[in-house]
Each structure stands twice: as structure tokens, then as C-alpha cells.
Amino acid sequence: MRIRDFVPSDAQQLVEILKANQQYGHPEIDGPEAMSKVHQCRAAEFLVVEEDYRVVGFIRGVYDGSRAIIHIASVHPDYQRRGIGRALVREIAERFKQRGASSLAVTVPGELGFWKKVGFRQTTRIMFAYPIDDILG
């Protein structure tokens, strides 16, 4: 297993992973163009994991100078339950800690089981406005 920074040529493989996990509902948020924007954002950490010379998962989040938050993580179903997700969480947590973060949150759009296993506890719910025009309208 090798964890490294995202590069734009990873995008299509990540879309396929999202689709395999039924996490690809909004291409404008998680598609290749959005991935390129995240890649360019200095606040973001965007990591991919390779196994057998193939990209099999990723994680991304941001650190705002005070708080860190994971926005999405996904591992291809054929590679789940092998410690890959846990390794991604540990790596992004280490990177955020090196940047100064003392806490880490995650937005969880479904099952909490994995996140509880890796050390998170449920405290609050996050509410979303999507599209953002719902707020501006």
C-alpha cells in the first residue's frame, strides 16, 4: 500500500471508486473539475492510496488554521476491510497535526461504523445547503 498526494490524472479512477460506492451524486462537487480545484487549494489535503499499482481509494479534507475536517473518503469495494481506509485516516490526521490542527472532524453521509472504529465519536450533525443558491435565493 502506498499513500501519496492526488494528481489530476487520478480523477477518472476516483470517479469510478465513488460510483462503485454509490457516492457520486454531484459531479460538480466530486467530479474531475472539482477534484482539480481541491488539488489547487492550499487549505486542502487530498490523498490517494495505491495497491497493486492501482489507485484504490482516497481521502480529502481541509484545515482552516484552527480546525481540520475530512469531507470525503472512499475505498473501492474490492479493497475494503484491508486497513486501507484506516491508513488513509491516519495519514491525513498526521498531516493535519503537522499543520497545527488539534482536532479532526468528519462529515458522515451514512453509516457511522467505520468512523467509530477509527476513533471518532458522534457529537453533532452538520447541515448542508446545496446548492448554495438555496441560501442566497
pTM here? 0.86
Report residue 49: phi and psi, to 5°.
-125, 135
What is the rounded CA–CA span in Å between residue 2 and residue 57?
Answer: 11
The amino acid present at 14, given as its one-letter code, is L
Q: How many domains does the chain have?
A: 1
Q: What is the pLDDT, as a whole number, of residue 115?
A: 63
Task: Render pLDDT for 80-135 as a digit per residue (tens, 0 to 9).
Answer: 999 999 999 999 999 999 999 999 988 866 666 676 787 767 666 666 677 778 87
Supply the DSSP symbol for 114: H
Phi, psi of 79 (to 5 degrees): -115, 5
pLDDT digits (tens, 9 = 90+) for 17-38: 999 999 998 999 999 999 999 9
- Domain carrying residue 12: 2-136
- Distance of alpha carbon 45 from alpha carbon 64, whole angstroms: 11
CATH number at 31 reads 3.40.630.30
Question: CA 40, 45, 51: angle at the middle one, nearest 5?
Answer: 110
Which has more confidence, 125 or 13?
13
**H-helix segments, the chain:** 11-20, 27-30, 32-40, 84-99, 113-117, 133-136
